[in-house]
Structure 1
Amino acid sequence: MANFVLVAGARLGAWAWDEVVPYLRAAGHGAHPLTLSGLADKQGVPAGQQTHVQDIVDEVERQDLRDVVLVGHSYSGIPVGQAAPRIGDRLARVVFVDSSVPTDGESFVSAWPDGGTRVKASIAENGGCWPRVPAAHYDGHGLTDEQIARIVGGSTPHPGATLTEPAVLTRPLGEFPTTYLACLLAGAEPSDDVAKLLTSNHWQLVEMNTGHWPMFSQPRELAQIFIDAAGE
């Protein structure tokens, strides 16, 4: 039995995994969706990037979880990748879902074409948070209007410091058993740092023919990929 610790991307909380969790539990696994500080029901809690890393480590230790599969979606690949070495032998595997991966000393936005200038300006203009985005942002990702409405309705502004503070990696990510899930409708090829990591014997690439939010568009298929990854 694996214990999946599920961390959704920017602006989302544990609720984003509501349709995935039942499939994991029905297969006999533990499922532990996590809301990071400053988001959803934890909105207003001050948070920097290391706060989010500690949120993940604390969840694993608080519940004394073993055979842990850390799942990071989108932004949350950044704290998940940093938390992986910090939970030691509790870790079984990492799964990155169409996500960023941390580079030591670099922030989430530093790899963006403009170096994060627009994101930083948006954060400064919105009280230190990255604001929510309109429904049109989710077009073209295999989502129904109802699913888009659910994402928009549940989203909260994202604490800006988590996007601009540098990552701290204590071990190379290529050392960990890892599945990288690329969502084809999202369009972009894996970034150069992900492509390099995929040359490691410990990493494997899986693709889904859906958009950037597969926990909404294809929850059953996503859960099966997690279950298959845990068996590797």
Structure 2
Amino acid sequence: MTDTTSKPTIILIAGHWLGAWAWEEVREHLIADHVRAYAMTLPGLDANDPERATKTLDDQAAAVLDVITELEGSEAHPVTLVAHSGANAPVSIVLDRHPELIQRVVWVDSGPMATGTIFAPDLPEEVEELPLPSFDALAQQVSLEGLSTEALERFRARAVPEPGPVLRQPVELTNEARHEVPTTLVCCSMPSAQMLELAEADHPMFAEVANLKHLDVIDLPTGHWPMWSRPRELADLIQSAASRTN
């Protein structure tokens, strides 16, 4: 038996409409390499929860902290958080509240959010949830490159509507220590050079990147869902990032 107690603990968190299931292939690769990897479903994205449409970003951040506690994460043994896409909102809150519990954060085609950011500020209050759009509509916003017909069918079949409160709640951040947490950006649908240019130009979506003190940037050219289009390569990058000491 291989001892994994000295290896980093990795928590995988998928973005909008997705649960732990989205990481199945990546997690299989990590576990085969004897990595301690846990995939979680954020509150509001469990299809079996009758109250899921009422969940908030605070609920999601609290759930991430609960998982860290369950996995015995601590200041002495911090964890690595892997946040894909819209998981950046609750993970940004967790980083703000408890940076000492995070050894490294890996943003997968995503990045830290700035305080006051709202994902969908114009979403009407009466909209309880946002279903997965048609793929034609989705492709106008993000890249579907690399996704097979089978992957798209699975996405459609298993996607859970995103709770309205999550999309309307502003991200409130106050702790500058969040900028000290070592960070890896895995750039997929946008080249890293372009992303860094936007960060330097103070683009609202990337402005927080310019504040990070310990930053690695890696290109993994593919679409917005690399856990399906390039799972082996993504698993290797996550493992490498989690193993870094700074």
- SS of residue paired to 1:40: coil
1:129: which partner in 2?
A: 129
- Is the 1:140–1:185 contact (alpha carbons within 8 Å) kept by the matching residues of 2? no
CA distance in 2, matches of 1:197, 1:176: 12
Task: Please give the root-mean-square deviation of Cα atoms over the aligned residues, in Å.
Answer: 2.4
CA distance in 2, matches of 1:170, 1:88: 12
CA distance in 2, matches of 1:188, 1:142: 21
Aligned-pair CA distance for 1:11: 0.6
**Residues 100-141 of structure 1 deviation map (CA, whole Å, 9 limit, x = unaligned):** 4221222223xxxxxx42xx04x73xx410122223335742
**Residues 52-81 of structure 1 deviation map (CA, whole Å, 9 limit, x = unaligned):** 111101111123133311111111011112
Q: What are the equivalent positions in structure 2 for 1:129-148 lying under 5 Å apart?
A: 129-136=129-136, 137=138, 140-148=144-152
Kindly tell me: are residues 24 and 207 of structure 1, through their superposed partners in 2, closer, same or farther at Cα, counting changes over 3 Å?
A: same
CA distance in 2, matches of 1:188, 1:54: 34
Aligned-pair CA distance for 1:42: 4.9
TM-score, length of structure 1 as denominator length: 0.85
- Is the 1:40–1:155 contact (alpha carbons within 8 Å) kept by the matching residues of 2? no
CA distance in 2, matches of 1:187, 1:11: 25
TM-score, length of structure 2 as denominator length: 0.81
Aligned-pair CA distance for 1:185: 6.1
1:77: which partner in 2?
A: 88
Match of 1:179 among 184, 202, 213: 184
CA distance in 1, matches of 2:146, 2:240: 23
Kindly tell me: are residues 11 and 168 of structure 1, through their superposed partners in 2, closer, same or farther at Cα, counting changes over 3 Å?
A: same
Gaps of 5+ in 1: 110-115
Aligned-pair CA distance for 1:35: 0.5
**Residues 190-215 of structure 1 deviation map (CA, whole Å, 9 limit, x = unaligned):** 35353652564401211111000001
Aligned-pair CA distance for 1:167: 1.0
1:51: which partner in 2?
A: 59
2:217: which partner in 1?
A: 205
Q: What are the equivalent positions in structure 2 for 1:5-154 lying under 5 Å apart?
A: 5-44=11-50, 45=52, 46-65=54-73, 66-109=77-120, 116-117=121-122, 120-121=123-124, 124=126, 127-136=127-136, 137=138, 140-154=144-158
1:113: which partner in 2?
A: none
Paired residue total: 221
Identity of aligned residues (%): 31
Gaps of 5+ in 2: 1-6
Kindly tell me: are residues 223 and 105 of structure 1, through their superposed partners in 2, closer, same or farther at Cα, counting changes over 3 Å?
A: same
CA distance in 2, matches of 1:154, 1:2: 30
Aligned-pair CA distance for 1:84: 2.2
- Is the 2:84–2:107 contact (alpha carbons within 8 Å) kept by the matching residues of 1? yes
CA distance in 2, matches of 1:187, 1:67: 27
- Is the 2:144–2:225 contact (alpha carbons within 8 Å) kept by the matching residues of 1? no
Asked if 1:155 is matched to 2:166, the reply is no
- SS of residue paired to 2:25: coil
